[in-house]
Structure 1
Amino acid sequence: MEKPEDEVAASMHDPRLTDPQGELVARAGMSEADVEQVVQVMNALRGWHDAADRMSEASRRYMRLNDTDMRALRYLIAARNQELQVTPGSLTTYLGISSASTTKMLDRLERGGHVRRSPHPTDRRALTVAVTDSTRADARQSVGRQHAHRFAVAAAMSRKERDVVIAFLEALTATEQAE
């Protein structure tokens, strides 16, 4: 049995309730069954978004890090897996934060034993940043395991089903630029 708060949350994506006059959400020519199915899609997306937030929060708590720290570590792990050197500048660019913020973050991550800074192998003026083995192992146990489960769900779909999902998600992402 749905709780009242679940019922309200589920109705937030139903244009029959949130936009009854159809001022924002075009649904002319759609059957009630089609509108209901679109609402189910939107509610499934909300469910996924909520689950992703909970998983991300659990990983941050497990690692005792904030969101930017976690993004930095994921980047450093991906770079290490590709045997690429990461400089503080490339991390600044990727994260979209100031170089001062990057320095403070790296100081904090280094104190916590998550990263190490070393001289760049070919540029004497530069440093490289790398994730430590212990942090990489911790991340594999939390974020890596979650990613493996999500990958398995996508892998279980047929190629045609994945093409539909890809097209849908890319079209959904493009709505950001439409504004």
Structure 2
Amino acid sequence: MTKNKRSAETDVSGDGGDASALYRMDHSDPKSELVDRTGLSHDDLQQIARLMEALRTLREAEERLSAASLKYMRLSSVDMRALHFLIVAGNTEVLPTPGAIAAHLGISSASTTKLLDRLERGGHISRERHPDDRRALVIRITPETHEAAKRTVGQQQANRFNAAARLTPDEREVVERFLRDMTAEIDVSGIAWAEAAEAGALAETAEGAASE
């Protein structure tokens, strides 16, 4: 390597290997084709880049937690979402029906039935008759699964509260506004290329099911 060349770890950053430099718009969008940076100073760009890097590390931590929880519980991500829904329902004295679970997960009745069958076989849930409607069912998480989820995944997720509690009320307002604003900025609802990709994926799924 010559003196004019740097390693792959540092040549992108230009800041001694600072990972946040990967998120600086003057590096990824040097001609301002994507973002108008008028009025933003060099310090502004660096600060925003550090914020983007912090979001990246948060996402990675969440992904590691999710992967660890799925392996520990030996369940899928949809299974875990269903169990979380049941835990919250139990804590709030709500009677969760299969229909409520399907609506929460955004899946069909048939898929919900398969999910509940799988969770029941694994000893994670029980089906009971609804006390006010004998034709309906109420789904309960078993005490054993509830306890296992609470002392592992639940505890790690609850630790998020600690970070939020350390902020002042004004800081929480700023963080909430930022997160909601960013969510709106990156939402792909109504975006042509995203809807086309979704339609293509659904078509491939339908073709695969038809050929089976």
Please report the TM-score for the alignment, with normalisation by the length of structure 2.
0.78
Once residues 143 and 112 of structure 2 are traced to their aligned partners in structure 1, the CA distance between those partners, rounded to angstroms, is 21
Once residues 79 and 59 of structure 2 are traced to their aligned partners in structure 1, the CA distance between those partners, rounded to angstroms, is 21
* Shift in Å, 1:169: 0.7
* Shift in Å, 1:25: 1.5
Once residues 94 and 22 of structure 1 are traced to their aligned partners in structure 2, the CA distance between those partners, rounded to angstroms, is 41
Once residues 3 and 95 of structure 1 are traced to their aligned partners in structure 2, the CA distance between those partners, rounded to angstroms, is 42
Q: Name stretches of at least 5 consecutive residues in structure 1 with no aligned partner.
A: none
Query: Is 1:97 the equivalent of 2:102?
Result: no
Contact (CA 8 Å) 2:20, 2:52: kept in 1 or not?
no
Say which one has the larger Rg.
2
Once residues 56 and 151 of structure 1 are traced to their aligned partners in structure 2, the CA distance between those partners, rounded to angstroms, is 17
RMSD: 2.1
The structure whose residues are more often helix, as a share, is: 1
Once residues 9 and 103 of structure 1 are traced to their aligned partners in structure 2, the CA distance between those partners, rounded to angstroms, is 46
More relative contact order, 1 or 2 (CA 8 Å, 6+ apart): 1
Query: Is 1:84 the equivalent of 2:86?
Result: no
Question: Residue 4 of structure 1: SS of its match in structure 2?
Answer: coil
For 1:51, the aligned partner's letter is A
Match of 1:128 among 138, 141, 148: 138
Query: Is 1:74 the equivalent of 2:79?
Result: no
Alignment-derived partner of residue 160 in structure 1: 170
- Percent of residue pairs identical: 47
Alignment-derived partner of residue 173 in structure 1: 183
Change (3 A) 1:18 1:178: farther
For 2:49, the aligned partner's letter is V
For 1:136, the aligned partner's letter is H
Once residues 82 and 91 of structure 1 are traced to their aligned partners in structure 2, the CA distance between those partners, rounded to angstroms, is 15
Query: Is 1:33 the equivalent of 2:58?
Result: no
Equivalent residue pairs, number: 178
* Shift in Å, 1:14: 1.9
4+ residue runs over 3 A deviation: 5-12
For 2:127, the aligned partner's letter is R
Task: Give per-residue Cα distances to partners, 1:28-72, cap 9 Å, x unaligned.
Answer: 111000000001001100110111111111111111101100000
Once residues 107 and 73 of structure 1 are traced to their aligned partners in structure 2, the CA distance between those partners, rounded to angstroms, is 13
Once residues 109 and 19 of structure 2 are traced to their aligned partners in structure 1, the CA distance between those partners, rounded to angstroms, is 40
Change (3 A) 1:66 1:9: farther
